[in-house]
Amino acid sequence: MSNQKTELSELGEFGLIKRLTNKIEIQNDSTIKGVGDDCAVLKYSKNEIVVTTDMLTEGIHFNLMYVPLKHLGYKAIAVNISDVYAMNAKPKQVTVSLALSSKFSLEAIEQLYQGIHLACQKYGVDLVGGDTTSSLTGLTISVTAIGEVEQEKVVYRDGAKPGNLLCVSGDLGGAYMGLQLLERENEVFKVDPNMQPEFKDYDYLLERQLKPEPRMDVIKMFEDNDVCPTSMIDVSDGLSSEVLHLCEQSQVGCRVYEDKIPYHPNTQDLAQEMNINPIVAALNGGEDYELLFTVDIKDYDKIKNNPLISVLGHITEKEEGANLVTAGMGKFIPLEAQGWNPMMNKRDNE
């Protein structure tokens, strides 16, 4: 890679936009007009449209000491697409807006956009607009994602019913442990910049933190097996927080069984090495971007042997509360929301 650094002031706003968008190829019939006018033009017929926006701010949501810009661009798209999938919808378009300080060169922003374009290509979405402005403090990325879903298949957070199964895709806690690993090695680097980071065999955890993959495969599994969740949310703030969101919105309680929470072996290994209980990483860590959902018991046979899915427990009456049932003793512990609070830059209830 060339070490050339082109100041953004050499291009100006419109030159930068042209440079970053000149290779966009439209992938969806619903995109009539993308980048290049005052508004994008989209055309839909009978289906429901879902829209979500997420913002990532330097120093709050990411640290450029160890987050590559290409990975950051990919993640900015991925976290929004995950919200679209949480509605049982399919993402179609995104807009990307940036606030940039003078420390960023053209080459740096092009790295960011490499990740953005890669994510758009992988998940079949069109980049149809956005905005750029200057910043005094660093980098802020704002992404809006638009998706489409058949009216009868849209899934909200408020549809869980007593007796429904509570399920999750993939494994939990990996992104949190990946962050702990990056933070640890960053502190070592501050003391001795010549020290090489010790990531050993933890590539999986680093990818979970730096390059999360929204669960397109789970949405396809629902479609292929004729399963429609009764409620759903993505796991961005930790399992506890998301379970409580579903319960509050649906006016129900639940039981989550500790021994049913899925972990990757790397998560358990690093947690032991760093003296962290893996259940803390799963319940409170966040950024796994798995799908947490409920299904009617009649659909159990359709998912019970699916390697993508773990059944965590079941939904109860509201009066029973939302509880973790401990392994072995079977003790009921009320779940508490202790996920990441970006407004306070700390864990809730910390």
Per-residue pLDDT, 111: 96
Q: Is 144 domain-assigned?
A: yes
Q: Is the pLDDT of residue 27 over 50?
A: yes
Strand pairing of 140-149 and 90-100?
Answer: antiparallel
Domain extent at residue 71? 14-153
* Residue type, position 290, single letter: E
**In the chain, how many domains are there?**
2
Q: CA-CA distance, 240 to 277, in Å (whole number)?
A: 15
User: What is this structure's pTM?
Assistant: 0.87
Q: Kindly state whether residues 88 and 142 are assigned to the same domain.
A: yes
Q: What is the pLDDT of residues 293-332, one digit of tens each?
A: 999 999 999 999 999 999 999 999 999 999 999 998 889 9
Q: CA-CA distance, 114 to 100, in Å (whole number)?
A: 17
Q: Kindly state whether residues 61 and 146 are assigned to the same domain.
A: yes
CATH number of the CATH domain containing 228? 3.90.650.10
Q: What is the pLDDT of residues 101-156, one digit of tens each?
A: 989 999 999 999 999 999 999 999 999 989 989 998 899 999 999 998 888 898 99
Q: Kindly state whether residues 230 and 287 are assigned to the same domain.
A: yes
Q: CA-CA distance, 112 to 68, in Å (whole number)?
A: 8
Q: Is 63 domain-assigned?
A: yes
Q: Is 4 domain-assigned?
A: no
3-state secondary structure of 2: coil
Please report, for residues 252, 257, 326, 333, the alpha-carbon distance to residue 319 in angstroms, rounded to integers and kept in the order given. Answer: 8, 18, 20, 15
Per-residue pLDDT, 10: 73
3-state secondary structure of 113: helix
